[in-house]
């Protein structure tokens, strides 16, 4: 929900999201390895031959294994919101995760899970513009069952074959800052089954955002399996 039309179009309050994610990362990072590093990807299960490919693409892995690994996300598509937004990797060296300044561009927390990973919450964040113009302005209007697609490439620079991860919205919640901080360790856990989490600000009061929208989406295949089990 947007409000506060007295502020010129294109201006937004990003500080609330930055401060929130400081708390989120403080809690989430406590659930990771004690040395603060991200666990390394598993080694290939079969020998591979070396081939030549574009710079930045690891071509020494078995082709089948490589195609099955999650790629680096570069685009988010949400048909219900008519959103097709680029994604850029962002990090939090000081535990401050700042989304891209352009509200039409989203940020993926590169130290967390990748979309398509078997384990962990892949966190994608973006600014909300209370006068309109942000990719995630209407995130709170998503409903359970809505489709979310994440396009990615094998190489971190956008090289290599493209993958598309299909997710289904499972939950849409609006949390006040304090509530979200208390629940952050669960909402953004890196220990859960692989899922996608979208985050932006909400409830503009004329000077600042009071809340945050958190959308949790699960892989479409998992959702189909659960529905089949329920029918059985």
* Nearest-angstrom CA–CA distance, 127 and 140: 13
Identify which of 106, 118, 230, 213 has the alpha carbon closest to the alpha carbon of residue 165.
118
pLDDT of res. 228: 55
CB atoms within 10 A of CB 44: 14
Q: What is the phi-psi region of residue 56: left when phi exceeds 0, alpha when psi lies from -120 to 50, beta otherwise? A: left
Nearest residue to 163 (alpha-carbon basis) of 229, 89, 29, 67:
67
Query: Could you tell me which of 153, 175, 170, 171 has the C-alpha nearest to residue 162?
Result: 153
CA distance 84 to 9: 21
pLDDT, position 173: 95
Q: Are 124 and 107 in contact (CB under 8 A)?
A: yes
* pLDDT beneath 70: ranges in the chain: 1-68, 155-160, 223-232
Domains parsed from the chain with CATH numbers: 67-219 (2.40.260.10)
Q: Provide the pLDDT for residue 231.
A: 53
The pLDDT score that the predictor gives to residue 11 is 45
């Amino acid at each position: 929900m947007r409000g506060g039309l007295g502020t010129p179009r294109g201006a937004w309050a990003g500080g609330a999201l930055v401060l929130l994610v400081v708390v989120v990362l403080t809690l989430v990072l406590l659930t990771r390895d004690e040395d603060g590093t991200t666990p390394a990807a598993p080694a290939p299960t079969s020998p591979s031959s070396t081939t030549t490919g574009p710079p930045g693409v690891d071509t020494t892995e078995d082709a089948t294994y490589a195609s099955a690994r999650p790629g680096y996300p570069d685009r988010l598509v949400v048909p219900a919101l008519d959103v097709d937004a680029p994604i850029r990797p962002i990090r939090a060296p000081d535990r401050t995760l700042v989304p891209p300044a352009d509200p039409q561009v989203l940020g993926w927390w590169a130290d967390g899970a990748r979309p398509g990973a078997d384990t962990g919450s892949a966190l994608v964040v973006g600014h909300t513009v209370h006068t309109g113009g942000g990719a995630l302005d209407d995130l709170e209007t998503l409903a359970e069952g809505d489709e979310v697609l994440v396009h990615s490439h094998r190489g971190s620079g956008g090289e290599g074959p493209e993958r598309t991860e299909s997710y289904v919205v499972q939950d849409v919640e609006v949390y006040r800052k304090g509530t979200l901080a208390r629940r952050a360790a669960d909402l953004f856990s890196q220990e859960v089954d692989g899922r996608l989490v979208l985050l932006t600000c909400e409830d503009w009061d004329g000077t600042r955002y009071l809340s945050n929208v958190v959308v949790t989406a699960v892989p479409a295949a998992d959702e189909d399996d659960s529905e089949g089990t329920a029918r059985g």
